[in-house]
Structure 1
Amino acid sequence: MLRQYELVERVKEYAPEADEALLNRAYVYTVQKHGTQKRASGDPYFSHPVEVAGLMTELKLDQQAIITALLHDTVEDTLATIEEIEKLFGTDIARLVDGVTKLSKIEVMTENERAAENLRKFLLAMSEDLRVLLVKLADRLHNMRTLHFIKNPDKRKRIARETMDIYAPLAERVGMYEYMREMQLLAFEQLEPEGYATITGRLAQIRSQEGGQVDAIALAIKQALAEADIQVEVTGREKHPYSIWRKMAERHVTFEQITDIMAFRVLTETPDDCYRALGVLHQHWQMIPGRFKDYISTPKSNGYQSLHTALIYENSMRMEVQIRTREMHRLNEFGLAAHWAYKQGGTRPDGQVGWLRDLIEIVDASHDAEELLEHTKLAIYQDRIFAFTPKGRLHQLPKGSTAVDFAYAVHTDLGNAAVGAKINGRHVPLRTQLTNGDVVEVIKSTSSEPQLSWLGFVVTGKARAAIRRAVRAKEHQEIATIGSKLFDAIAGQLPTRIGKKAIEAAVRRLELRDEEDLMFAIGSARLSDREVMEALVPGSTAELPDDPDWTRSEVSISIKGLTPGMGFELADCCHPVPGDRIVGLRRPDHKVEVHTIDCLTLANGVDADWLDLSWGSRTTGAVGRLRLVLYNRPGTLADVTQTFATNRANVVNIQVIHRDEPFGTYEVDLEVADLAHLTRIIGTLRASQAVAEAERI
């Protein structure tokens, strides 16, 4: 662990003007606040923020970032407050610490919701100041280095998965490849321990068998370039174990079939030297077609610049070669952090604004935790392609992107209005996937709107978020239209004609925003007829009977896949209960019908939109229908009802279908918790001496 004076000396080496007293105060503050707390490794807890601060000094970040690193866990894990930090260290540092601090655990939230809320806050804070991201990445990297001390394997895997899905791609997006590679390697070890052991073992075996072959190839490359009067520095290594694993998975090949295990880096003085070196290497060794990439003329969105090629060396051995200048290499390894110059007034490094702005738009558009996580993972997807507008503006998109993804990348309004596209001058369907270098022209119409079916082929988080938001707005309007029709029926039961003023007064009494919000609340069954009537004409329901026609029963079922507040009804034809696989049929001006997946009446739903649904967290109160054949003798019906009572099932309705001499056939509507509950009751009935047959309708 870094000592106090060592940390200060590191900062003063590259920032002589740094406030030594403030740095010392922050170091002492974090040591005092964390006190006797211990990490899983047994080390004092304050060793973690000190090591994170040390990582910040390696990036040569300013003193505010160093102090933020020292304090980043104090608010979450000690009695320190943001107000106290602001008083001791200033507003800027307090803002940075607040940005990095994870939200306190909220027990009522699911794991996904907690992760999503942490991510939401993190992204918003990051948009204000990129140093929040840099500190957070260093925090995660140090936690990954000590992950093996955590005894619970499930917790280790959860942290590793989060690192692989969120933090490693974020490190890549800001060009911090050293952080990305180490995070991936450490996460890979936890998530795929057998694969990790196999690949690292094979690499060690190759290293011992081939001895100095890497050094020999590096020397051959250097000599070939020296003969062409190009002075370079050449280094070689085996490819990253996780990179090999991913290639094996993507190509469905074995380790032996991966031919380009060796990778070499050539550092030159100027960009001209890069292209000259490329030409020499291609003349000296045979290049592998399709493997050349020029990221110097067309940098990645994170600023990464390099030439990539693959060559065939002696004995048909393949090797990957990256050629770049020394300055490019410095920026590539640590990205935006490498040229961070946070001036007074808060200017940001160029290059981060575009994709970061997309992330913030996704935060605003995402409806719930699962959507936010899905959209964000898509937004930081790593494999990219390049496409151009007709005016030559470059856009980088994930591999597999379509014309719709491109339209939303240009502007959300363009995506919403898209009706067609031209790729390289040729009309194509909107679902057409783009390839590198395509020129894309989006055809739009003012009367067009996003289609739900687009979600079946778009791949970018921004497009998915915008489409879902537009579809939800349309659904909201449809529900409000249903509500308007219901409102007319409700108003018709009142003793007086309802005008605009009465509606405005009702909106105020119900604490709603406007008339449309009222219609939506009625259409989505959030308000009962009685509540609406009382809001329109206070006292009008006093004489009404307090029966089910006038009181709204408590909603006890929730459905995932519907817009919040959207009205739905469980279909009478199949009586779905929680645990059944379900789909929804949505028709204009009607509630969504929820059916079991094997319901025979689904064949009549060709004129409806089909929705992929699942059951939510509330699972009580669904009604299943049974057909019972009982022996026609005294006491059998009492035995059956006793079975229902014993199994805590409420009989909603019972109907005699027909009777003959030995048997009676009944249909019973039974309120149950879920499919397992209903199945258990059927099993009990079939074992009863009173029941000849029991089946679900």
Structure 2
Amino acid sequence: MDSVQTLYQTIFKTDESDPLALQACKMALEAEKEEHKGLVRSIDAATILSDLKLDRDTLIATLISDMGLEQRYPIEKISDEFGDHIAQMVTGVRRLNHFKEFHPATTSNEVQTERLRQMLLAMTSDIRIMIVKLAFRVARLRTLKNEPEAIRQQIASETQFIFAPLANRLGIAQLKWELEDLSFRFLQPDTYKEVARQLDAKRLGREAYIQGIIDSLEEMLKDSGIEHHISGRPKHIYSIWKKMSRKNVPIDELFDLRAVRIYVDTVQQCYEVLGMIHSRWPYIKEEFDDYIANPKENGYQSIHTVIIGSENKTVEIQIRTYEMHRHAEFGVAAHWRYKEGGKSIDPALEQSINLVRQMLEYNDNPDLLNEISTELLTEHIYVMTPKNEIITMSKGSTPLDFAYQIHSELGHRCRGAKINGKIMPLTYQLNTGDTVEILSVKGGTPNRNWLNPNLHYLGSSRSRAKVRHWFNQQNKEANTESGETLFNKEARRLHAEHISAEEVAERFKYEQLDEFYEALGKGQINERQLTNAIQKLIKPEEDKPQARPPSFPPEESAEPGKAFVIGAPRLKTTIAPCCEPTENDQIVGYVTRGRGVTIHKKECPNILNLTFEEQKRLIEVAWYNAEPQETTYEATLQILAFDRKGLLRDIMMELTQWDINVNNSDTRTDKSDGSVSMTLEIDVEPHTNMGELLDQLEQIQNVVSTSVNLNKQQAS
């Protein structure tokens, strides 16, 4: 029998001819002839997977994933010879074999290491690829003693932090124990040897005692009619050391140092056997665990109990079905994926995981195997910064989302992105494994188009919130500045410059001065309330001659043809030369920069054409010897938004809360991009704070911008 046939029978355990499997064996033997220091041979990994009873395609893919074959057998050639499915698996294995630049030395903390574990899983299109990678890692550790110390430390550390936890999450006990023990042996050789020495020192006596317990169990179960199998349970050095460290006890005081395992056919039989054991021996209640009723996170199921045998020695007994044992030894491939925070799995995910649990049991069903992949990992992707830091993001995220996740300012200034070294549009959907570099400009600001859900600039609600906050912040700064101006003017009018804004803010229950100014600028605190608050802080001996109510001017100033600012009658006013209003005209004031307030007709073209920001400088005025008229004025409200169900309803509800009557509306939709342009004819009260109204309208979902213009005629 030649070497190819021998390897074929060793790996595939069959005498039936399989040309593709034979070809894979031949290629693996060819690669083994080449000397590569530190290179793990695919034959070693395939042997491990054969013991795990992996399917034919996985074993073939493992054999031809030898790194010595990469140059001679590119993926295109493998696809031609073995088919697309095996070629895809080889691509995944090769990808992970080149994943060596990421190890715990590059991670800043435990969170980053956890992200790396998740990324390794997410990078594979088929969960079996990850199992193959674990087999390669076990084979690597078996030969690690011949490597320099620095390499031993790096690979052992990487194994302990990344690959052993992955094997545990996948539930593959056969790989987990060896990964843990071998990495522990290289990381803490002295401790490893000491634990091993203590185990070996009393090995014969311990084995004899366990055999006595097994004999007693066999005698007890002989007449029960329950088909069963009993064996001693192997102990693993790393696990023992962890328990000694966690409980701070010597090795002889560990309850499960002596352990046996009972296998039966059904769950009911598990509990029947448990009842017999507890009737025969006393047990330690605190050490009882029912993992059948409450499985571990990786799907592990078994009953654990600790009994007190002869000589007052403790023995751990595990009871499980044969199916549970296969599951524990061979593993599941997604049960670890709990939602963030350790919450329970939803039913849809549980159904998907049940399919994965069958992977190793039903390895003769190729169609089922093809369906099992890490598409189960649908909630997150894992991308990298240019410095190889891994960032967890929601699936569907864009480069713009990435920029905002790094820092809000980077998001605001983002103007482009390089994905894996190539410039891509900001609407590009990121994939796991992408390296993202953000291109930004100094002083850049967000674009309102980013909020358009139809343009797909942002996939994260958190990013959209940051963009909205930026736009709201711009209005906040304007309101804060306006409020500060109003306070200072009113303090001067009342000759109360010695009263601090902080004192007044405290009366209104504002802890932050900026919040007080903003509320004043928005009109949430009106001028009468501000006047009363300041006056209550003026001590009686400090009172000046009573200032008139803000609606009336001082008598000495009552001159025909002059106007005053309601609420601040001492402010200098000037008749605007552009429209020259007279006492018969409806007027409005405009706060200039350094030249007081100019008085305009309300229908003055210069007033009607003010920008949104300039409109905030308008102020209510009146003619001397005339009470301010509480009239309403017609205005045109312009709203730009992106269409959605209920948009018009939400806008109308907001206007109703402001007691604004809508006389007419015109809505136009652009079907090419889903944008909506609304023109509403409304009646506006003189005291309506239009800046605050527009702010509130822009808080409505999908509203992009708003503006308002006063019409020429007074509303009837």
User: Normalising by the residue count of structure 1, what TM-score does the alignment of the two structures yield?
Assistant: 0.49
User: Normalising by the residue count of structure 2, what TM-score does the alignment of the two structures yield?
Assistant: 0.48
| Structure number with bigger Rg | 2
